[in-house]
Amino acid sequence: MSELARISPPGAADELRAALADLTESEQSVLTRMIMAAKFDENGRAEIDEISIVREFMLTDPSMNTPSQPHGGMPPIIKPYTGRPFVPFPKERVEIDANLADVIKRRKSVRDFKRQTIELKTLATLLETGYGLVRYVSAYGEPRFPFRRAPSSGGLQSIEVYAAVNDVENLTPGVYHYQPERRGLTLLDPGLVRRRCVRACLNQDWIGESGVVLFLTCDLRKLLWKYGRRAYRMSHVDAGVVAQQLHLIATALGLGSCMVAGFVEEAVHKLLDVDGKLEFAALGICVGVPVDAPSH
């Protein structure tokens, strides 16, 4: 008796075979590759490898059939937005006078914030020092390929930064996208987002006390064309690099910050207006004035 017949109700094996026969040749091929990529325990039972499933989905789902497929063309490295309100950063920046060793010692997750406005020049310093544009070089056949302050896989900058603004000087509350070339923020969705962020982040009330919540998304289009199946893994590495850099700089600026991975993906994707497939949320970073900060 086959293992399938032994563990299945009567007739189930035949139904399964019939269902498999109904799959297209392409679907059968994908399923076969998933099974081959799965891990097996000592008894020969498959332990589903979720990463492998995601990879195969990305490479075969019709919605992924874009020029950014492996061997296709390179998509825009800096995500363009047109026809949206734009807020330029002020020219003035906050001088960071901090020793790296001291910053690392002081670095900690902060969840207790004052309801105090963050200066726009401080947010600008955080974003530009952490993930701003450094220079243009000739690369990937482009005479002016942008390089940013955080290293990334292939230099392709798969991470996008969005800001859900609660309390920042001269910024209307709402959701913004950081535009490094234009040195400012594009307003995507005006309106109060404090409670929306709290609900999206599993009702953690302290998140609503922060001045701004930075959401990092992985844009797979920037990596798929070059790295194929490895793109999904590499994008998470990129997110970790950018997140830690922003976290350290926030500390150097005297701000409190805390990384957040506990959130409802669909809610965050709706908040940021991203599709959740080619571009999806990886991390949130709450930034604000800590309660133990000296008063000015």
Tens of pLDDT along 41-95?
Answer: 666 666 665 555 555 555 555 444 443 444 457 889 989 888 999 999 999 999 9
- For residues 22 and 141, state if they share a domain: no
> Using CA atoms in the order 37, 41, 44, 45, what is the torsion angle rounded to 10 degrees?
-80
Predicted local confidence at residue 69, as pLDDT: 44
Q: Retrieve residue 257's tokens.
A: 């910050």
Q: Retrieve residue 28's tokens.
A: 């059968």
- For residues 7 and 146, state if they share a domain: no
Predicted local confidence at residue 16, as pLDDT: 73
- For residues 44 and 90, state if they share a domain: no
Distances (CA, A) of 99 to 7, 115, 128, 258: 63, 28, 19, 21
Residues in a beta bridge with 146: 136
Could you tell me if 275 and 125 are in contact, meaning their C-beta atoms sit under 8 angstroms apart? no
Instruction: List per-block mean pLDDT (blocks of 10 residues) for the chain, which spans 296 residues.
Output: 48 72 75 68 64 55 45 79 94 92 93 94 97 94 93 96 97 97 96 95 95 97 91 95 97 96 96 95 97 74
The structural domain count of the chain equals 2
User: Any idea what the CATH number is for the domain that residue 130 is in?
Assistant: 3.40.109.10
- For residues 153 and 250, state if they share a domain: yes
Rounded to the nearest angstrom, the gap between the alpha carbon of residue 73 and the centroid of all alpha carbons in its chain is: 22
Residue 62 lies in a domain: no
HEC-encoded secondary structure of 75-137: CCCCCCCCCCCEEECCCCCCCCCCCHHHHHHHCCECCCEECCCECHHHHHHHHHHHHCEEEEE
The model's pLDDT over 43-58, given as tens digits with 9 standing for 90+, comes to: 666 666 555 555 555 5
Could you tell me the pTM of the whole model?
0.77
Range of the domain at 257: 86-290
- For residues 36 and 127, state if they share a domain: no
Residue 157 lies in a domain: yes
- For residues 43 and 92, state if they share a domain: no
